[in-house]
A and B are shown apart, each in its own frame.
Chain A
Amino acid sequence: MIVAEIKPIEEIAEAIKGAKKVLVAGCGGCVTVCLSGGQKETDIMASALRMKMKVDGQPLEIETATYERQCDPEYVIRFKEHLQDVDAVVSMACGVGVQFMAENYPEIIFVPGQNTKFAGAAIEHGIWEERCMLCGECVLAKTGGVCPVIRCSKSLMNGPCGGSQNGVCEISKDTPCAWQLIYDRLKGQGRLDMMTEVLPAKNWSKNRDGGPRKIVREDVRL
């Protein structure tokens, strides 16, 4: 899922300066799962903003609304009734939600309430880790199910760099070396010979280097 993190409240307050009425819009999707932009966090954000603006001498009327997703027309439409007389919306969705909402309500000012971080997994309660950079052409079959594109700090495709030591990456003792993980996994499976294959230069045009991407599925279009 997409993992996001709430922006510092000062930054949000600065972005909505001058507004009289604001809607804080939550999202029931990924950001609910990663506990940063669901209904609960949206309510907390609203009261924190309310207090801050009051202390700052700019009292503000704030409402909240949370629907299933902000990246889907079906739910975006439901926000309409909350937008009648607001000056700005603080969207607690990921960057996709913020943009999709803004696109649907172009007359309204949208402010992101989150820093959208990465596509990751909840490895423990309260710990999320990046697992994929959405590169467009997955190599996991060749790398023992561990992604070198995003989990290796240098996106190396052919084995560990010289900085790999004691299982950790040269950039930090808190970052596992992806290639050590790949090595261990393949060794455990008796498939180490897979690491002798030279993987060719990656086709980054499948990644965003090919420009913004789009998938069209004729079979499911209405």
Chain B
Amino acid sequence: MSEAVALDKQAELKTDSKLEKLYSLGHFVVTGELGPPQHAEGHELEHHAHELKDIVDGFNLTDNQTAIVRLSSIAAGIHVLKGGGVPIIQMTCRDRNRIAMQSDLLGAYSLGIRDVLCLSGDHQSFGNHPTSKNVYDVDSVQLIAMVKKMRDDKKFLSDAVIKANEPRFFIGAVENPFGDPFEFRAIRLEKKVNAGADFIQTQAIFDLEKFARFMEMAVARGIHERTKITAGILPVRSVKALQYMKKDVAGMEIPDSLIERMKKAEDPKKEGIQVAIEMCNELKKIPGVAGIHIMPVGWEAALPEIVKGAGFLPRPKV
């Protein structure tokens, strides 16, 4: 792409998010996920971000994932920034009402965060405070619309005007292609795009064939042209982890053939990386897939191996 065209494209950008720039320049984006710790120290996050900043284009910071109390995703994002990485903060609807969310969005933006991923969040019954009160004042679709309203209309959800310095987030959303009703998933995705989702990250994919069917439906609706769909990968270290996900994690579809393959593996870790790499290569070929999002769940060392193995290096500089 010529310099002039590239600059031209940049002129249309809605935000100064690096992710938006990468997507708009047509790069295949690669992001990773980091889980904030269950304590009040961020050095490790900063360290991971520093080590991996040239491996992935951005880091998702989960927001009290599975309803377990952790360092806040916004604080975690600041540690990632300190380490030189690009934070994508997650924001769930479970724990805060619209006042707290908008306040946190202002705060996050003021601290240099440019990307936010909007999701409803796991129910608190899964976490370490099952007796808590949940909020769900707004749902994920409404949250997306709220972030967009703050950015594009310069208004809070209530219609009160943001007189200056509106937060200009690049807005992400998630979709689980394996949730039910399956036929509704692409429609739901479209709903999120209509509400304002600039990019999408999908739930971890193990069942390629089903994911391809989901993408066919999304492409048929032209959704891939209105948003960037990033496919989720979760590397597994053991057959136990797979079996656990199959049995206990809602909305996960795991083919038996994969379980068999992991069972036979001599070095399950190595095999897990290999599976993830193969998955990247397959996903790349599916029409409409604009990037890969890797969720190592505590196995950060897997990130560089997968990204390298899949031929995603070096990452583009913008």
By a beta-carbon cutoff of 8 Å, the part of chain A in contact with chain B is 153-167, 170-171, 177, 180, 183-184, 195-196, 198-202, 204
Q: How far is the CB of B126 from chain A (nearest CB, A)?
A: 8
Q: Are B180 and A164 in contact (CB under 8 A)?
A: yes
A residues near B250, Cβ cutoff 8 Å: 162-165, 170
Q: Are B123 and A163 in contact (CB under 8 A)?
A: yes
Q: Are B93 and A160 in contact (CB under 8 A)?
A: no
Q: What 1/0 flags go to B236-255 for Cβ under 8 Å of A?
A: 00000000000000110000
Q: Are A154 and B139 in contact (CB under 8 A)?
A: yes
A156 in complex: contacting residue of B125, B136, B157, B181, CB < 8 Å: B136
A residues near B123, Cβ cutoff 8 Å: 153-154, 163, 170-171
Q: Which of A165, A170, A184, A196 has the most CB of B within 10 A?
A: A165
Chain B residue total in the interface (Cβ 8 A): 37
A residues near B142, Cβ cutoff 8 Å: 157-158, 198-201
Q: Are A154 and B94 in contact (CB under 8 A)?
A: yes
Q: Are A198 and B94 in contact (CB under 8 A)?
A: no
Q: Across the A-B interface, give the 6 residue pairs with the lowest CB-CB distance, nearest first.
A: A162-B176, A170-B250, A163-B250, A158-B141, A156-B139, A155-B136
B256 at interface by CB-CB < 8 Å: no
Q: Are B139 and A198 in contact (CB under 8 A)?
A: no
Q: What 1/0 flags go to B110-130 for Cβ under 8 Å of A?
A: 000000000011110110000
B136 in complex: contacting residue of A154, A165, A171, A200, CB < 8 Å: A154
Q: Are A183 and B184 in contact (CB under 8 A)?
A: yes
Q: Which of B93, B140, B181, B190 has the most CB of A within 10 A?
A: B181
Assess A166 versus B191: contact at CB under 8 Å? Given A154-B93, A154-B136.
Answer: no
A residues near B16, Cβ cutoff 8 Å: none
A residues near B203, Cβ cutoff 8 Å: 162
Q: How far is the CB of B86 from chain A (nearest CB, A)?
A: 24
Q: In the bound complex, what is the Cα–Cα distance between A141 and B250 (angstroms)?
A: 29
Q: How far is the CB of B250 from chain A (nearest CB, A)?
A: 4
Q: What would be 28 A-B contacts, judged by CB atoms less than 8 Å apart?
A: A154-B93, A154-B94, A154-B121, A154-B136, A154-B139, A155-B136, A156-B120, A156-B140, A158-B139, A158-B188, A158-B191, A160-B179, A160-B184, A161-B120, A162-B175, A171-B123, A171-B125, A171-B126, A180-B180, A184-B181, A196-B190, A199-B142, A200-B145, A201-B137, A201-B142, A201-B145, A202-B138, A204-B137
